[in-house]
Amino acid sequence: MRFHDTLQRRWREHGTLVCVGLDPEPAKFPAHLRGRPDAVFEFCAAVVDATADLVCAFKPQIAHFAALRAEEPLERLIAHIHARHPGVPVILDAKRGDIGSTAQHYAAEAFERYRADAVTLNPYLGRDSAQPFLDRADKGVILLCRTSNPGGADFQALDCGGVPLYLRVAETVARDWNANGNCALVAGATWPEELGQVRARAGDLPLLVPGIGAQGGDVEAVLRHGLTADGGGLMISSSRAILYAGGGEDFAQAARAATIALRDAINRHR
């Protein structure tokens, strides 16, 4: 099934806009897991199994695995999600972007090696750098637009013919890059007014919204500015505040409780 259809189904049938980010940091793992040879997989799989019924997507961030030489556990984790929780899409947060010939290999990495349903891309290199991803109509292509970090405005807010660059990105992706109906945008929860500007330019394109939880984004403001008319359109992502909600042997149950709290906080404002 196409990524956008799977996502729509999760929003509609499961009543959740929560995306759980999978950003393993072994120093924060509970003591009983630390030092175990397969700790990265065990930790992430336990959180996945405890939260899968509550989410619209999972978002593993690739650097958190690659830095630990844990690419093989990441492959197994995504295979585990597909096998145990079919219908929950996996967004590989890789923020790729390179010349077209190299981008083909990044697309193969995301979709063939890791079997992700969607991937994040940096649009800075332009259309040809995204084309190998855009051509995969079954897969989601999520372009960085207005990122959540403090320095996001350094370039994204620069004037670009009367509009800031990030709105040019939103317009261009929605109008020109979305021929296969498989595009989405990243708009950080930490800049809710800008997120609203992105929504106004991008129509009903799905928005991946990081910045809730550890980065301090405000759920109510995100919903006020970002919801589509049908009360959806958002993948509101939280990683650390869910993964490390508890530090003991019951870490997965603590992650579940934090996910329920976020889902319910979101749904109160929909």
Ligand X SMILES: O=c1ccn([C@@H]2O[C@H](COP(=O)(O)O)[C@@H](O)[C@H]2O)c(=O)[nH]1
Residue 262 binds ligand X (CB under 6 A): no
Residue 140 binds ligand X (CB under 6 A): no
Closer residue to ligand X (CB): 97 or 213? 213
Q: By the 8 A CB rule, do 95 and 121 touch?
A: yes
Residue 182 binds ligand X (CB under 6 A): no
Which range in 48-56, 144-152, 154-162, 262-270 contacts ligand X by CB under 6 A? 144-152
Closest CB 59 distance from ligand X, rounded Å: 7
CA distance to 57, 58, 61, 209, per residue, from 219 (Å): 18, 19, 22, 10
Q: By the 8 A CB rule, do 246 and 51 touch?
A: no
Q: Which residues contact 154 (CB under 8 A, 6 or more apart)?
A: none
Six-digit token string for 251: 């870490």
Give the closest residue to 188 by CA, choosing from 162, 164, 163, 214: 214
Residue 233 binds ligand X (CB under 6 A): no
Torsion of CA 257, 95, 80, 235, to 10 degrees: 40
Among 237, 254, 263, 266, binds ligand X (CB under 6 A): 237
Among 104, 215, 228, 253, binds ligand X (CB under 6 A): 215
Residue 93 binds ligand X (CB under 6 A): yes
Among 214, 221, 257, 261, binds ligand X (CB under 6 A): 214
Among 16, 51, 129, 148, binds ligand X (CB under 6 A): 148
Q: Which residues contact 221 (CB under 8 A, 6 or more apart)?
A: 189, 192
Residue 51 binds ligand X (CB under 6 A): no
Residue 61 binds ligand X (CB under 6 A): yes
Closer residue to ligand X (CB): 90 or 138? 90
The count of chain residues that interact with ligand X, using the rule CB under 6 A, is 18
Residue 238 binds ligand X (CB under 6 A): yes
Give the closest residue to 187 by CA, choosing from 146, 228, 233: 146
Give the closest residue to 134 by CA, choosing from 105, 109, 95, 107: 107
Any catalytic annotation for residue 95?
Answer: yes
Q: What is the residue whose two structure tokens read 């930790």?
A: 43
Terminal Cα distance for the chain, rounded: 27
Residue 122 binds ligand X (CB under 6 A): no
Residue 156 binds ligand X (CB under 6 A): no
Closer residue to ligand X (CB): 149 or 248? 149
Q: By the 8 A CB rule, do 129 and 100 touch?
A: yes
Among 21, 123, 164, 192, binds ligand X (CB under 6 A): 21
Give the closest residue to 163 by CA, choosing from 207, 208, 197, 127: 197
Which residues of the chain form contacts with ligand X (CB under 6 A)?
21, 23, 61, 93, 147-149, 186, 188, 210-211, 213-215, 237-240
Residues classed as catalytic: 95
